Structure 1
Amino acid sequence: MIHIRRAEVSDAAQIQRVYASSGTYGGTLQVPHPSVEMWQERLKNLDAKDIMLVALCDGVIVGNAVLHLEQKQRRAHAATLGMGVADAFAGRGVGSALLQELIQLADLWLNILRIELIVFCDNAAAIHLYQKFGFQIEGTHRAHALRHGVFADTYSMARLHPDQPTIKQGGC
């Protein structure tokens, strides 16, 4: 069973182990060999408006996800999603559990209309997961990030709250 809760500073070492997995840092914009101290600082300095969650299996953190809420007034309706799941737990529902909880918070408690993310174009499993939760590909960033010594393309994806009215689309 997967348990989701808010991340705490004391979780730094376990979150560091998640992002030390080669598949995890290779699928994110993280750099290999993260330190526990880096994660302690990240957790200590997390903006009070941001939401960082962890997923636990048998008391061990196996994934984490964060919603960074936009600070600019005209973008207060938007948040950026980041997520990582330990290699050994990929495909076991951890990402779904984290996304489900963050989307519920965004839709029902945070007044978020738009959740945005960046994903590598060749990460079919992650793209499938995001699409399952209503995210759509909005564009491609060519040579967006260096990964394994090669510049890789990414997709920009976003999900709009399904029950909120938006302005009429057009012009672009």
Structure 2
Amino acid sequence: MNFEIRQPRIEDAESVIEHKIKVTKENPDTLATAIENQEPDLNDQIEKIKNTGENDLKLVAVDSDKVIGIINMFHDHRHKFRHIGQFGISVQQEYAGHGIGSKLIEEVVQFAKENEHIEKLILTVFGNNDGAIRLYEKFGFETEATLKDQVKLNDGSYTDLIYMSKWV
């Protein structure tokens, strides 16, 4: 598989939206996304691409100009939390197992290590997302807290919300 990891460009906005819609449909019980609540808007997506904070990182995995994976890491600017970077990641199912998620996480970890403000990376993951949990553990992330039955799934059942972190 031949893919490129890079910062998103304005011309990627439509493909980013298509990616978000696709992964939300593919992962209804393992992923929480903003588009579950609001229809994506092209102009909003363009603004999000243009307005990346100085200590934030947004990356896309691209295969032939098609966005197939995304990772966003946001630096918490509040005084007592400014040592924290929080990220979320998604990769389309048909591209899983090709190292895309690993490469995206590697990039975020490296960015955090080189950033004088970020000391710790955090994330949340649904307890039923075993593959993602294993991937995070592979990179040294550890479970800090488990909120029991925090997430209500579409079928009415519940799963845990797990907080994981890694000092960089």
Q: TM-score per shorter chain, which class?
A: 0.7 to 0.9
Q: 1:4 to 1:110 in 2, by over 3 A?
A: farther
Shift of 1:121: 0.4
Shift of 1:91: 1.9
Q: 1:123 to 1:47 in 2, by over 3 A?
A: same
Q: Deviations over 1:90-112 (max 9, x none)?
A: 22211011001111111123542
Q: 1:85 to 1:53 in 2, by over 3 A?
A: same
The question of whether the paired residues in 1 share the 8 Å contact of 2:28 and 2:154 is answered with: no
Q: Under a length normalisation based on structure 2, what TM-score does the superposition of the two structures give?
A: 0.84
The match for 1:164 is none
The match for 2:165 is 158
The match for 1:14 is 15
Shift of 1:153: 1.5
RMSD across aligned positions (CA): 2.1
For 2:132 and 2:67, the matched residues in 1 are separated by: 19
Q: How does 1:53-132 map onto structure 2 within 5 Å? A: 53-132=59-138
Q: 1:116 to 1:89 in 2, by over 3 A?
A: same
Matched position secondary structure for 1:154: strand
Identical counterparts, % of pairs: 25
Unaligned segments of structure 2, at least 5 residues: none
For 2:70 and 2:116, the matched residues in 1 are separated by: 19
The match for 2:40 is 35
Q: Deviations over 1:98-155 (max 9, x none)?
A: 0011111111235421100000101011001101111001111123233324343211
Shift of 1:14: 0.9
Q: Under a length normalisation based on structure 1, what TM-score does the superposition of the two structures give?
A: 0.82
The question of whether the paired residues in 2 share the 8 Å contact of 1:24 and 1:84 is answered with: no
Corresponding residue to 2:26 among 23, 35, 38: 23
Provide the aligned length of Structure 1 versus Structure 2. 161
For 1:34 and 1:101, the matched residues in 2 are separated by: 29
For 2:21 and 2:165, the matched residues in 1 are separated by: 27
Matched position secondary structure for 1:67: strand
The match for 1:170 is none
For 2:151 and 2:116, the matched residues in 1 are separated by: 30
For 2:73 and 2:56, the matched residues in 1 are separated by: 6
Q: 1:48 to 1:78 in 2, by over 3 A?
A: same
For 2:51 and 2:28, the matched residues in 1 are separated by: 21
Matched position secondary structure for 1:158: strand
